């Protein structure tokens, strides 16, 4: 997430960080590069210009504080302005004082709206908000069946009716709301119909639906990888139906950052980003926190979010045992290594995990990735086959694995000898990586 943006911002600010005095020329030159980096990340021109102007106003002629260089203070100002650009404060769903709270999920086809409805429902179950889903997308083939299947996986109630595009969406949604009330739901998530592009027919239907079943929240589900297209979509929906928030999906991919950095300003601050999708699983959604996201963009890390994710996903007893062993002189054996890889998978994509570690963006992230590639879901089965083809003594003491033993393990696992050798090398690197995490605040009990 934001790998390229993070790497470029870190490089620019690194050149200014150690300077004893920041002249106006140095600040202007550095911030011009920052502005160019933001534009390359698909941030809107006006937003990028206003960002650099505000930082320059704070930084030019800044005297050094005791123990803090002006360059380091400049980084602080950049962080503050990034937080401001991202929405300043976390924005949660506003729940009605008298349930149920009605939430419309709107957006174009392909943005992940139906999947997001189920993800959000699953999260609300954990928050004891008793969610209920209403399948109001009657036009997209298989949309209703998809939501029903996802509702079953999320273990939440759903109202769905056959009939396709012949259905009266307003009447259907009203019946869904009644079904939710009978089920004593506290939150009703309405998966509305999308289109391939914003058109009058879709907006007219949403306007009628909003008038007939007034929602407490209207959340736009937008693809975070589409940059300024997502901003234009947000502006269009906001002008037509009045958004109260945004959910950015596909943020585990190569998102350039433009949507996240522009969408709040594009709606005049009326539609802050409330959640981001961080993967394909139903658990892969998290609240959007501007301050933490700004930290990720500047390679400062986001250990708090990583710890929260770990607390929700990991087997605490097993994680604590692995953490203790990883930081001892002997370290983990190969059985522990396999357990660690299985646990690491629960935290989400490795790229996402590494950006949460201080200094985890860009080049450092790629280097650390080499030590953790074995946790890739596509490779984990191969890793399991290799490790389980070893004797208990070999797993406990990998130094026993001579050339002939490695050949035997390769034959038993059906993998080439080179892959066995590569895994053993990664095992050593993983041990170093986890030992390096020992001193990180809050992580000892989380890994």
Ordered domains of the chain (ranges, CATH): 3-86 (1.20.120.140), 101-289 (3.40.50.300), 303-436 (1.10.260.30)
Average model confidence (pLDDT) for the chain? 80
pLDDT tens for residues 349-360?
555 565 555 555
Alpha helix ranges (H) inside 183-270: 200-212, 228-241, 258-266
Q: Which residue has the higher pLDDT, 296 or 300?
A: 296
The structure's pTM equals 0.69
pLDDT tens for residues 177-188?
999 999 999 999
- The two most distant CA atoms of the chain are separated, in Å, by 75
Backbone angles phi, psi at 433, to 5 degrees: -60, -45
Half-sphere exposure for 15 (CA within 13 Å, toward CB): 12
171: Cβ contacts below 8 Å, ≥ 6 apart? none
pLDDT tens for residues 146-189?
999 999 999 999 999 987 667 889 999 999 999 999 999 999 99
292: Cβ contacts below 8 Å, ≥ 6 apart? 302, 304, 305
Pairing of strands 273-277, 217-223: unpaired
Separation CA 158–CA 147 (nearest Å): 8
pLDDT tens for residues 50-99?
888 888 888 776 655 444 566 667 778 888 888 898 888 889 999 999 99
């Amino acid at each position: 997430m934001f790998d390229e943006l993070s790497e470029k911002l870190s490089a620019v600010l690194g050149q200014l960080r150690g300077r004893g005095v920041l002249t106006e020329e140095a600040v202007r030159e550095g911030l011009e590069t920052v502005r160019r980096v933001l534009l390359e990340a698909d941030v809107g021109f006006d937003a990028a210009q206003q960002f650099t102007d505000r930082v320059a106003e704070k930084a030019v002629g800044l005297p050094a504080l005791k123990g803090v260089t002006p360059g380091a203070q400049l980084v602080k100002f950049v962080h503050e302005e990034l937080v401001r650009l991202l929405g300043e404060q976390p924005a949660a769903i506003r729940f009605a004082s008298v349930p149920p709270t009605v939430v419309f999920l709107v957006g174009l086809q392909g943005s992940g709206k139906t999947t997001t409805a189920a993800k959000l429902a699953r999260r609300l179950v954990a928050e004891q908000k008793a969610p209920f889903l209403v399948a109001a997308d009657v036009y997209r083939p298989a949309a209703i069946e998809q939501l029903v299947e996802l509702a079953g996986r999320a273990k939440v109630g759903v109202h769905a009716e056959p009939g396709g595009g012949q259905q009266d969406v307003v009447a259907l949604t009203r019946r869904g709301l009644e079904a939710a009330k009978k089920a004593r739901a506290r939150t009703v998530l309405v998966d509305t119909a999308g289109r391939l592009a914003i058109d009058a027919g879709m907006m007219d239907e949403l306007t009628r639906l909003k008038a007939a079943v007034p929602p407490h929240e209207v959340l736009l589900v937008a693809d975070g990888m589409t940059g300024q297209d997502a901003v234009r979509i947000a502006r269009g929906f906001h002008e037509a139906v009045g958004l109260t928030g945004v959910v950015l999906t596909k943020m585990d991919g190569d998102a350039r950052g433009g949507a996240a950095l522009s969408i709040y300003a594009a709606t005049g601050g009326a539609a802050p980003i409330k959640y981001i999708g961080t993967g394909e699983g139903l658990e892969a959604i998290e609240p959007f926190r501007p301050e933490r996201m700004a930290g990720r963009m500047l390679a400062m890390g986001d250990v708090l979010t990583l710890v929260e994710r770990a607390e929700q996903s990991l087997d605490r007893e097993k994680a604590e045992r692995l953490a203790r062993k990883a930081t001892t002189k002997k370290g983990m054996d190969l059985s522990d290594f396999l357990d660690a890889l299985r646990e690491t998978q629960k935290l989400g994509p490795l790229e996402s995990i590494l950006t949460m570690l201080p200094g985890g963006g860009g080049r450092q992230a790629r280097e650390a990735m080499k030590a953790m590639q074995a946790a890739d879901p596509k490779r984990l089965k191969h890793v399991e086959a290799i490790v389980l083809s070893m004797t208990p003594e070999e797993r406990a003491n990998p130094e026993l694995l001579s050339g002939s033993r490695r050949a035997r393990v390769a034959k038993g696992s059906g993998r080439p000898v080179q892959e066995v050798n590569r895994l053993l090398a990664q095992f050593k690197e993983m041990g170093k990586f986890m030992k390096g995490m020992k001193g990180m605040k809050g992580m000892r009990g989380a890994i």
